[in-house]
Amino acid sequence: MARAGRAGPWSAVPGQDGRRFVVTGANSGVGLETARTLAQRGAHVVLACRNADKGAAAARDIGRVDGSVEVRVLDVSDLSSVRRFADEVGAVDVLVNNAGILGVPFTRSVDGVELQLATNHLGHFALANLLLPRLTDRVVVVSSQSHRHGDLRLDDLDWQQRGYSPYGAYGASKLATMLFLAELQRRLTAAGSTLRATGAHPGSTATSITSSSGDGWFAWVGSWGHGLVGMKPAQGALPTLYAATMDVPGNTYVGPHRLREMNGWPTGVGRSRAALDPDLAKALWVRSEELSGVTWPL
């Protein structure tokens, strides 16, 4: 895999003429920069955003490109919104599951699921399965180094048997994304599908995600810390772009190459022991089908 070193850092996203991408959470941060670069390289990019006005502002920010962009409303925490989007979006080459929230107080989604799990995992699980019959290439799962600290308890996904931890719940939701990545690829391989699932994380990137917590102090510290040691969003998007456009095997996981994967250039990276647990991945899949009402389509 290309990375920093003698060959130099990778940033040469190949041409994407004629290809159609969906990027969730594309109105800011890593999602916006992922969409911008894909459109600059000739792709048609669907900016899947919860807020139509912010999506429109993002489209204006991207401006004139060799490809094109369109805005469609999608709230991944709301399964009815996910189904509506999937019904209307049409054929897609690559789905980039990027949208996420971090460290919010305990809240349930409109479907009654703990909000971070609903947003970061369950909605994307449903979206990917609904779109699989119309995908031509791959699903990209955007995760986080925080998955390494995740404690995912399938008998207590809504944190009723233990005290709720905003950041513990975030880690658990990101562990769920990693397990989804592995199990999705296992199922694709078993089905003889040519589709693939890949994953990425942006390391420490200066985005506004900490502001979703509603904790002003945490948001300020997070923004300051990422600004001090992290990357600008355009560089933080490179692992996602690598996972979305390069010819890598299914279940490849990409992140920054240096300083404990906090910054650098895209390279293959490892994952936690829990993220490699096939039994946990299969059990989470079953539970996710139960919670979402969306089942394996292939």
Give dist(CA 42, CA 68) in Å, integer. Answer: 7
Is 170 marked active-site?
yes
3-state secondary structure of 197: strand
Residue with tokens 């900016």: 47
CA atoms within 13 A on the CB side of 210: 17
Using CA atoms, how far apart are residues 9 and 19, in angstroms rounded to an integer?
25
Is residue 196 within 8 Å of residue 245, measured between CB atoms?
no
Three-class secondary structure of residue 55 per DSSP: helix
Query: C-alpha angle 168/173/178, rounded to 5°?
Result: 125
- Dihedral angle of Cα 290, 293, 294, 298, to the nearest 10 degrees: 70
Distances (CA, A) of 294 to 79, 80, 82: 10, 11, 11
DSSP notation for 111-167 = TSSBHHHIIIIIHHHHHHHHHGGGEEEEEEEE--GGGGG----TT-TT--SS---HH
Which residue is catalytic, options 164, 167, 170, 242?
170
| Residue 220 half-sphere exposure toward CB, CA atoms < 13 A | 2
Q: What is the CA radius of gyration of the chain?
A: 18
Give the residue from 122, 119, 171, 143 showing the smallest Cα distance to 254: 143
**Residue positions annotated with a catalytic role:** 170
